[in-house]
Amino acid sequence: MKGLGIVVLRMALAAVFIAHGANKLFGAFGGPGIGTGGLTNTADFIAHLGLTPPFPLAVLVGLAELLGGALLVIGWFTRWVSIALIITTGIAVWKVHLPSGFFLNWTGASGVGQGMEFSVVLIGALACLALSGGGDFSIDGRRELTSARRAAGRARLRGKV
């Protein structure tokens, strides 16, 4: 059962990042913050934040979130994907959420942004994956198991076991 905890964490994070990446790239799922989504609106939002060049950054962030989420589903390059998503989420905290404080805007008050509360949870969960890897039920875990078996086989051939 221990290995299933990492799977649940990977799937939850993957759902969040796939949804956000699809919104940034294609306008899927609607949602506030970046208008109706899509590359043009995402690029406009990035330009509004003062980051340049806005369109390539919109593509980069959208692809990082969409493809990173997909890679988390299968557990491939989990540590590297987690680090990349920590960086993108950290930049979002710095440029978007930090000025609004810690807490989310639960009341929906106009003119008040969303705080960094949710992003901090995402970064913490991604850090767990970056430190632990994809777990037993992942491509990464399968590759680690296979390489460990090969090393054990070589040790047996050398008479070290």
> Looking up tokens 């990042």, which residue turns up?
17
> Over 70: is that where the pLDDT of 34 sits?
no
For residue 111, what pLDDT band results from cuts at 50, 70 and 90? confident
Average pLDDT, the chain: 92
Across 64-68, average pLDDT:
98
Confidence of residue 21 (pLDDT cuts 50, 70, 90): very high
CA distance 111 to 154: 64
Tokens 């962030």 found at: 61
List the structure tokens of 62: 């959208």
In terms of Cβ atoms closer than 10 Å to its own Cβ (0-12, 13-18, 19+), residue 30 is: exposed
Q: Are 115 and 103 in contact (CB under 8 A)?
A: yes
In this predicted structure, the answer to whether residue 70 has a pLDDT above a threshold of 60 is yes
pLDDT at 63 exceeding the cut of 60: yes
Our CA dihedral for 84, 59, 54, 49, rounded to 10 degrees, sits at -50
Average pLDDT, integer, range 82-104:
96
Q: What is the C-alpha separation between 19 and 65, in angstroms, rounded?
A: 8
